[in-house]
Structure 1
Amino acid sequence: MYLIEEIIMKRLLVITADDFGFSKERNEGVMEAYNNGAVKSASLLLNCTGTVHAVESARNTGLTLGLHLNLTEGKPVGGEYKTLTSCDGIFQGMIGTREALDNGQIDLTEIETEIDSQIKYYKELVGEKPAYVDGHQHIHLHPVVVPIFAKLLSKHGIAVTRMPIEINLDLNAKPWLHHSPKLDLLNIFVKEAKSSIPVLQQNNIRTSACFTGLSTMSAAMTTESLQAVILEAFESVEPTHQGTSVACELMTHPGYPTPMDYGGFSWGTDDFGNSKDRVHELQVLSSAAMKNFYKTHNMELASHREL
């Protein structure tokens, strides 16, 4: 009689704090989340009032940093452009940038120059290449941007990015999504991510096996909703996953409110940055309920360095 030992697949949960560097207040919240054992990675914005403060705050702490590539808000890193920015030298915003890309109004050379400049500037500030690069407002996977993005990551020896494919983004499956006024846009992000897979694979860029967090931003993040989407993500890929471990990325935005008159992209913040929802996310992520949940469901918090 042979005793067959059941192998339990290890679940690696990569919890990422987005918009690190946005402001001193946001940075303090991200570092608190890290010190609470609630996040392991943080995506750094390079063109904000808190960028340098973020780098210094994270130095020698063990927090894994990546580049939060930004082509939509604030001033570019690489200089002045004719098509990538508006006439005042500012990126054209989340919607404006996407519309300009869709209409073929942005010079591809400018996109390449800015992405390359941000990777190089990150190296100067941090002292090493990013452990990963994702996109502010998921701009890295726009169909016009992703071929350039993937080529430059390969050039710089960066092999990890974000794949924001969250399943079941509809009100029937996730009723708490009524908090999100941009549900259609979230589904566009997912569609673009799926289309980008061949380009990333051709350039040997890897991602986590699954992803969640689009549906649990701000007030939509509760202990119940967060636990539900994490389990859903893991269970959606485990039946076909090869190996003894599977990794899922959870996108979050913890912090403290940024003042409306200063912070963010130099001129102040918006309602998202100023909202007390930043503290709400910090509290949910740091709660004993979430820590018990991870333990109960065989989840180990990890960083992008383990992908």
Structure 2
Amino acid sequence: MASGSYGFGSTEIIVNADDGFYSDIRDQGIVSCLSTVDRGVSDVSVLMNGAVAKSLLSCPDHKRPQMSSLFSHISRNRHIPGLHFNLTEGKPLSKTKFVRSLLNDHGYFLGKHGFRRKLVFSGIHMNEVEVELESQINAFRDVFGTIPSHFDGHQHVHVLPGIDMVVARVISRLGIKWIRVPIEYIPETSCCITESEINFYREVSDQAMKAKEIFSSYSLKYTQKFIGMALMGKSQTMESLDRSLSSFENCKNVEFMVHPGYRTIKHTNESNNLEGCGDPDGPDIFSQSSDREHEMFFLTSDEFKDYLIVHNYELLKFSDLS
């Protein structure tokens, strides 16, 4: 039985859609999850170097709702999203000369594994991480007029050694209170998760354990539990969700990380400026996968919404938490 049915009160659950502003087609799917009656997604975090964000930054305020389905929905509902801090995909918002250690020879971020390899060999300059972090926060402020309601990292970059300290220092100073701590039990095997993915998720969890101490030292808040890495794509089923939530006893709140949306289409030219983070090859394989639509349909299903009701989960945004 899921933890939400234990005790006298409900368990708060934040179902957070990552990768907002990556592309408008992805965003349309996220909006469908946010808009559904008894919605299946309660919050979202956005990529400020995503194609949609860049289009919003370049147009007048009054035209922004026409440029983005997600921005339009957020504005109508007075919803302040989170920031999905990105150091691994696409182009930076900072000028190249100020963040050279974060980039390859062509001016693009180094990728999930490339960034981590360079970090291990002390090739990443933390002052440059801070420059790009502040650029992304400033861009968020330009679009929304305020600071993010919460903070997480694209491909969990925010819990990497050294990055965690920069993040904690900067966002605590700015008054951003909630941060993701992706500590999750990862099964030994799974029909839908590769061995390399299992190893990566375990590495992230180990790093998050250490980052948690740093975040706490800066008085940052985080949910008591986290799920989502082992529940991505086709692994997102009622059985696997119940297995994850049932392992938590007397849990006050939990964040469920999700990646729903309509999948993007591969483009080989630069004419499509509302897809991805600016990589020359266009949107990545993850965004093109049918897994994105699988998650969207799962999260808007009656079965998922009924599960939350039956097990006494209260669906909230980060801004609703005390």
Q: TM-score, normalised to structure 2's length?
A: 0.86
Give the drift of 1:144: 1.6
Query: Deviations 1:253-285 (Å, cap 9, x if unpaired)?
Result: 000011211411234112210111111101111
Give the drift of 1:63: 4.2
Do 2:186 and 2:202's aligned partners in 1 also have CA atoms closer than 8 Å? no
Q: Distance in 1 between matches of 2:199 and 2:235?
A: 16
Give the drift of 1:223: 2.1
Do 2:192 and 2:234's aligned partners in 1 also have CA atoms closer than 8 Å? no
Q: Distance in 2 between matches of 1:166 and 1:249?
A: 11
Q: Is 1:65–2:81 an aligned residue pair?
A: yes
Cα pair distance change 1:101/1:179, threshold 3 Å: closer
Q: TM-score, normalised to structure 1's length?
A: 0.90
Question: Residue in 2 aligned with 1:87?
Answer: 105
Aligned pairs, number = 290
Aligned residue for 1:43, secondary structure, equals strand
Read off the aligned partner of 1:207 and give its amino acid letter. Y
Cα pair distance change 1:141/1:294, threshold 3 Å: same
Q: Is 1:77–2:77 an aligned residue pair?
A: no
Q: Distance in 2 between matches of 1:114 and 1:70?
A: 9
Match runs of 1:104-123 below 5 Å: 104-123=122-141
Q: Distance in 1 between matches of 2:318 and 2:122?
A: 33
Query: Deviations 1:114-152 (Å, cap 9, x if unpaired)?
Result: 111111111111111100110000000101200110000
Read off the aligned partner of 1:256 and give its amino acid letter. Y
Q: Distance in 1 between matches of 2:315 and 2:309?
A: 10
Give the drift of 1:228: 2.1
Residue ranges of structure 2 left out of the alignment (5+ in a row) = 1-5, 57-67
Aligned with residue 224 of structure 1, among 235, 239, 244: 239
Read off the aligned partner of 1:224 and give its amino acid letter. E
Question: Residue in 2 aligned with 1:3?
Answer: none
Aligned residue for 2:222, secondary structure, equals coil
Query: Deviations 1:207-258 (Å, cap 9, x if unpaired)?
Result: 00000011010111112212322332x32xx2xx6xxxx1100000000011
Greater alpha carbon shift after TM alignment, 49-58 vs 119-128 = 49-58
Runs of 4+ in 1 over 3 A off after TM superposition: 175-181
Q: Distance in 2 between matches of 1:7 and 1:194?
A: 27
Q: Distance in 1 between matches of 2:78 and 2:89?
A: 28
Question: Residue in 1 aligned with 2:276?
Answer: 264
* RMSD over aligned Cα atoms: 1.6
Match runs of 1:1-307 below 5 Å: 8-36=8-36, 37-51=39-53, 52=56, 53=68, 54-80=70-96, 81-171=99-189, 175-178=190-193, 181-232=196-247, 234-235=248-249, 238=250, 246-261=252-267, 262=272, 263-266=275-278, 267=280, 268-307=282-321
Residue ranges of structure 1 left out of the alignment (5+ in a row) = 1-5
